[in-house]
Amino acid sequence: MTIRYVESSKLPTPWGIFSMHGFEDTGADKEHVVLTMGDVSSGDPVLARIHSECLTGDALFSLRCDCGAQLQAAMHRISIEGRGVIFYLRQEGRGIGLLNKIKAYHLQDKGADTVEANEQLGFGADMRDYSILRPMLEHLHIKALKLMTNNPRKVTALQELGIEVVERLPHQTGRNPHNAKYLETKKGKLGHWLDHPEEDG
């Protein structure tokens, strides 16, 4: 695995101006982006979101998942704090890729849940690799995070990389009738920390 820093630029958004840092994964031939706001290298824990690419949710406004809503909520939360980081990782469909994700969606249309669909295609329930974060964190001089996530696997992965997670912040948003089963599968089969719908907010 070779992650190479390429360049940084400003990124104006509805939530303020972020700095956008480009990284190239030469081994996997993928490009990743990190968004920062404020001074993240001061040594103090940084408000953070690890977000896996979701073209359907992030850009096409799909209601089958909560990804787009989670990304926007993270950008909003960081803008309020004035300091934070979002790791935007090119690991579409929990790591199976966009076209396989469409195949998985087809199986879900026929009744499979997200885990069953991935497994029917010959993949694991979650194929994402968070070890690629290490060189990005090192480049940004980040050693401790306040992590916005409902996924215990992300917390464990960071701790195994030697990154201190000083706080885990619930990040629930975007529940709707189209993704209710998806969210329950996340909770029941993948162990995500999700409250009941009436407590969601």
Domains annotated on the chain, with CATH: 3-91+128-194 (3.40.50.10990)
CA atoms within a 13 Å half-sphere pointing along the CA-CB vector of 45: 14
Known binding-site residues for GTP equal 49-53, 70, 92-94, 114, 149, 154
- Tell me whether residue 44 is one of the annotated catalytic residues: no
State pTM to two decimals.
Answer: 0.86
Question: Which backbone phi and psi does 175 adopt, to 5 degrees?
Answer: -70, 135
In the chain the beta strands, taken as DSSP E runs, fall at: 3-13, 16-25, 30-37, 46-52, 84-89, 144-148, 164-169
**Lowest mean pLDDT, pick from 60-64, 130-134, 150-154:** 150-154
Tell me the one-letter amino acid at 84.
G
Query: What is the Cα–Cα distance from 186 to 194, expressed in whole angstroms?
Result: 8
Known binding-site residues equal 49-54, 65, 67, 70, 92-94, 114, 149, 154
Q: What is the per-residue pLDDT for 178?
A: 65
- For 29, counting Cβ atoms within 10 Å of its Cβ (0-12 exposed, 13-18 middle, 19+ buried), the class is exposed
Most confident of the ranges 28-37, 172-181, 186-195: 28-37
- Tell me whether residue 126 is one of the annotated catalytic residues: yes
